[in-house]
């Protein structure tokens, strides 16, 4: 991998232009900062895995250095609750988060029953259609268009409606580190409203105000997918709902709350 999304500078994480949002070249896409918050959860309790992670997006995240603060608010041998806060270098909160962490297991539990009812897996990345960008009007390097390799498995993505997209990160999240699949997945889950848009993006804002991800197992491999649908009303509110996949099958779900209004 070449240029990373972030470089460490003391206690700060300095974003590259590859974190930019397709809505605003001077702001970060919320996916990369969410990945930093997942990283902070894993650093805080490395013996545990993310079961549920929620981030609240307090507003546009400037393309400037940030820090992540963490606090374990509920400790335990099997389950812990960790709070995270993404702040700028003067301490202004940009994103708030919470993660429920559960004890990591190396051997599966022995049950007579087997998991059932998991969503149908999509067409694999090798048989899906490569495409460059959802929003052709973006004329600068941004997270979706420059930092990710994308392949369309279901839907159109260029027309309104549900879609399933495979993603592969082209860059490290933090320079010199191998990002976990949970970090990479939360960054991709934040693209759900973009791949399943229902209102014309050049005329309408449909930005997410939060993101929640559930993982019932840790994803494996480079390619990760979201099967996403967006629901909205003319009253200016909406939500996206996604199933999350790796090459072995469904690994979790994610949701976003959406704020919608004309540009």
Sign of the CA dihedral running 166, 151, 18, 230: negative
pLDDT band at 204 (very low <50, low <70, confident <90, very high): confident
Q: What range defines the domain where residue 148 resides?
A: 6-105+121-262
For the cut 80, the answer to whether the pLDDT of residue 32 exceeds it is yes
pLDDT of residue 45: 96
Residue 48, pLDDT above cutoff 60? yes
Residue 212 lies in a domain: yes
Residue 13 has pLDDT above 70, yes or no: yes
Q: Which residue has the higher pLDDT, 263 or 41?
A: 41
Number of structural domains the chain divides into: 1
Portion of the chain with pLDDT greater than 70, in percent = 96
**For residue 148, is pLDDT > 70?**
yes
Nearest Cα residue to 72 out of 49, 36, 50, 41: 41
For the chain, the average pLDDT equals: 92
> What pLDDT does residue 54 have?
98
At residue 136, the pLDDT reads 67
Residue 202 has pLDDT above 80, yes or no: no
Mean pLDDT check: name the lowest of 48-52, 138-142, 174-178, 232-236. 138-142
CB count in 10 Å sphere of residue 152: 20
Residue 113 lies in a domain: no
pTM for the model stands at 0.93
192 domain-assigned: yes
Residue 1 has pLDDT above 50, yes or no: no
Residue 152 has pLDDT above 60, yes or no: yes
Is 134 within 8 Å of 194 (Cβ atoms)?
Answer: yes
**In this predicted structure, what is the pLDDT of residue 257?**
96
Q: List the CATH number of the domain containing 11.
A: 2.40.160.210
- Quote the pLDDT of residue 219: 96
Separation between Cα atoms, residue 96 and residue 118, nearest integer Å: 31
Within-domain flag for 110: no
Cα–Cα distance, 185 to 254 (Å, whole number): 10
* Domain assignment of residue 111, yes or no: no
**Residues 207/232, Cβ–Cβ less than 8 Å:** no
Tens-digit pLDDT profile for residues 91-136: 999 999 999 999 988 777 777 666 667 889 999 999 999 987 777 6
Mean pLDDT of 206-219: 94
Residues recorded for the chain: 263
Asked, for residue 116, whether it belongs to a domain, the answer is: no
Other Cβ atoms closer than 10 A to 99: 28
């Amino acid at each position: 991998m070449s240029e990373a999304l972030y470089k460490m500078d003391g206690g700060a994480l300095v974003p590259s232009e590859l974190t930019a949002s397709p809505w605003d070249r001077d702001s970060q896409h919320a996916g990369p900062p969410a990945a930093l918050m997942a990283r902070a959860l894993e650093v805080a309790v490395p013996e545990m895995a993310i079961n549920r992670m929620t981030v609240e997006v307090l507003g546009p995240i400037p393309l400037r250095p940030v820090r992540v603060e963490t606090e374990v608010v509920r400790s335990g041998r099997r389950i812990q609750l960790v709070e995270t806060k993404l702040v700028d270098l003067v301490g202004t909160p940009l994103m708030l988060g919470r993660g429920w962490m559960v004890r990591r297991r190396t051997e599966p539990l022995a049950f007579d029953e087997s998991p059932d009812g998991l969503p149908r897996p999509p067409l694999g990345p090798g048989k899906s259609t490569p495409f460059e960008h959802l929003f052709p009007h973006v004329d600068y390097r941004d997270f979706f268009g420059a930092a990710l390799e994308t392949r369309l498995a279901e839907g159109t993505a260029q027309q309104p409606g549900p879609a399933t997209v495979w993603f592969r990160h082209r860059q490290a999240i933090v320079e010199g580190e191998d990002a976990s699949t949970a970090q990479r997945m939360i960054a991709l889950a934040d693209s759900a409203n973009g791949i399943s848009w229902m209102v014309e993006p050049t005329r309408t804002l449909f930005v997410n105000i939060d993101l929640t991800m559930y993982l019932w197992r840790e994803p494996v491999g480079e390619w990760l997918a979201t099967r996403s649908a967006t629901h909205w009303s003319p009253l200016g509110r909406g939500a996206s709902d996604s199933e999350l996949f790796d090459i072995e099958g469904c690994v979790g779900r994610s949701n976003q709350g959406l704020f919608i209004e004309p540009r």
